[in-house]
Chains A and B, each alone.
Chain A
Amino acid sequence: MAGRRNGLAVLVEALRTWLVPYRYGLERWSYTLQRISGVVITLYFVAHIVETGYVVGGPSVWTIRPDAQQYAERVWTETIKFLSNPLFDAGLAIIGFFVAFHTINGIRLFLAHFGWGLGRPTRPEPMHRPQSMSPTQRALFWASIAFAVFALVYTTNAFFGVLA
């Protein structure tokens, strides 16, 4: 908090503002969840590309090998065996939650950024509630949470059969 800030201080401050949404209301939670889910989805996307690359044989996929069929089958089997792990399944369920939330909440933010679904300017009276977080915005935020929970339950059931 002192005067001059170095790179580490900026990073710590960034993580703190991302990860500590307390006290600032619903929209700050939305901000934090949107950022975390965005980072997680990006990391997953990179990992997914790497994983898929291995399945199809990595860079060698561009070369027609005599044993291409057998090679692909062997790598596919090995990869599936490696990924058949409850930890990866649980991770995919969480990814399902984040993807659903990020999508619906992202559409809400897209609309809000262009001024749609917001309240009108009003003279502030005591106990004023910001019209930026209008009932429409709150409803859409909770809808994105509900959709994400549904995705989480669906994927958890798909992997672990919890509803069976």
Chain B
Amino acid sequence: MKKILTHIFLALMSFISIYPLIWTIVSSVKPGTEFFTNQLSLTGFKPTLENYIRVWGKASFGTYFLNSVLVTVCTVCLVVIMTNLAGYALGRYNFVGSKLLMGIFLSSICIPLVSTLIPVYQIIRRVGLMGTRTGLILAGAGGAHVVFLLLYSNYYKTVPYELCEAAEMDGCGFFKTYLNVMAPLSKPITTTVVIMESVWTWNAFQLPLILTLNNPKARTLAVGLYSFKGENTVDWTGICAGGAIAMIPIIVLFILFQKAIVDGMAGAVKG
């Protein structure tokens, strides 16, 4: 009896949890007329791609999609390189200033984004990158990425020192040891970092919103959809199609890498 109740409760909550996503995707393939007679039905109509075709071209969701992909790929690469390098140095070596650096990076957890938003906007504007994808990438990669630093440094700490010594015996210097021996070992962490940073960058809203205020062409999907809703309040099926374009890649990523995402999130709280 208790078991059945648990199942009923969890099934209900699970349904509520994914219902908005199902509704969006179903509505995105609903003909506009059908949607306005019955916006709740999930079946019983002929699916169409016309909403996608409409927003992809006319509402520049094609551009937004490309922007989101480019910004995400570049930001992730940048973040992986910088946190891997820094995590290696901080986790492996006790160099002059290492404790201080780690302390400074750690303390940044509690600085809310909103406190740095206005100056970051100014910096990007002053260097002439306002409304550009480069500006989005650089600002997006900014900050200390504390979680990733901790993941890498904790990981590198656990690698046996004999491995390094062996590499040094073979005549590898600091950089060669890192590149040939250590960095390849960090692959499992890198997988986590890549997936999590992809999700975060793809979903970023506040920063891309203010950095593309002057140039709709550089907007990412999240920002594009927000402004599209502001301008076309009645085109619900179009908004759903836009929303689905933003959601589907991330849902696919989640289904493919569920374990890495779950482990990464759990690792963040343990770290």
Q: Do A and B come from one complex?
A: no
B residues in contact (CB < 8 Å) with A: none
A residues in contact (CB < 8 Å) with B: none
